């Protein structure tokens, strides 16, 4: 099974294709390409991970969105139901919203509770305010592992959602991962195109603390490959550098 490629706009110049092709060939020789993926299935989707309006975009502390204040061209709210509580009327990119509804329906049907949408799409300006709030609450060092700076947040893409099962407690807490609902999400979200983006013991790669509630939509095909191959971060999947720190943090550390 390959990773489907949906290019929404624009094209890629041949020099970039050649550069990526060469790098992925090197990665394959070093065993860095997921073994169930062919090179073609891996190379062409990888060309889209720099594009903010693509479903496979990778955003982290080293990879800002371009433009930095990017806003998705289309967003939709998930309807509340017995399986999904979106009483805050939060929105996601249409593909992610549809997948979340399906996942919530299945989770509820299997008896694991009603999923609650704690956070979904965030604007650039909202993320600025949120990071400032976290800094006041935890100090800069604490904020840096708990929240992204504006322009570096997955929530700004419309492809990330924070969920909980209020009846089981532990909303937006690491203990969510130990609830029956949290365990179901971790074990089954890939079936609907989601991954738990910030897993345990991946802070040195992602730059963020464990967040069992934070799901990132990448589509069913990529999520299947991700799960099948036991991969824990998008950085590893695409053979990208670890993104534990922002570039300015590294510079400041060297100066100190």
What span, in angstroms and rounded, lies between the C-alpha atoms of 84 and 82? 6
Of 154, 199, 211, 236, which residue is the catalytic one?
A: 211
What is the C-alpha to C-alpha distance for residues 171 and 154, in angstroms, rounded to an integer?
Answer: 19
211 phi and psi angles, rounded to 5 deg: -135, 85
Of residues 158, 148, 157, the one with CA closest to residue 127:
148
Tell me the CB-side half-sphere exposure of residue 108, using CA atoms within 13 A.
18
Does the active-site annotation cover 211? yes
Strands 84-85 and 115-119: parallel
Report d(CA 246, CA 171) in Å as an integer: 28
**Contact yes or no for 120/91 (Cβ under 8 A):** yes
The residues annotated with a catalytic role in the active site are 211
């Amino acid at each position: 099974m390959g990773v489907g490629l949906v290019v929404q706009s624009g094209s890629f110049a041949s020099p970039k294709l050649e550069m990526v092709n060469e790098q992925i060939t090197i990665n394959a020789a070093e065993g860095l390409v997921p073994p169930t993926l062919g090179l073609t299935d891996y190379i062409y989707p990888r060309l889209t991970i720099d594009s903010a309006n693509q479903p496979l975009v990778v955003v982290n502390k080293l990879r800002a969105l371009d433009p930095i204040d990017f806003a998705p061209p289309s967003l939709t709210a998930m309807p509340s139901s017995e399986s999904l509580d979106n009483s805050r009327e939060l929105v996601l990119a249409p593909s992610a919203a549809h997948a979340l509804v399906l996942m919530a329906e299945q989770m509820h049907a299997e008896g694991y509770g009603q999923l609650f949408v704690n956070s979904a799409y965030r604007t650039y300006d909202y993320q600025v305010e949120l990071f400032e709030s976290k800094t006041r609450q935890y100090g800069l060092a604490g904020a840096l592992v708990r929240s992204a700076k504006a322009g570096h947040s997955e929530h700004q893409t419309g492809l990330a959602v924070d969920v909980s099962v209020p009846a089981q407690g532990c909303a937006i807490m690491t203990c969510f991962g130990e609830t029956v609902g949290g365990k179901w999400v971790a074990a089954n979200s890939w079936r609907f195109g989601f991954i738990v983006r910030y897993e345990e013991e991946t802070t040195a790669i992602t730059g963020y603390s464990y967040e069992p509630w934070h799901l990132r939509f990448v589509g069913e095909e990529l999520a299947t490959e991700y799960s099948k191959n036991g991969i824990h971060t998008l950085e590893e999947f695409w053979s990208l550098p670890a993104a534990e720190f922002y570039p300015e943090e590294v510079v400041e550390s060297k100066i100190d």
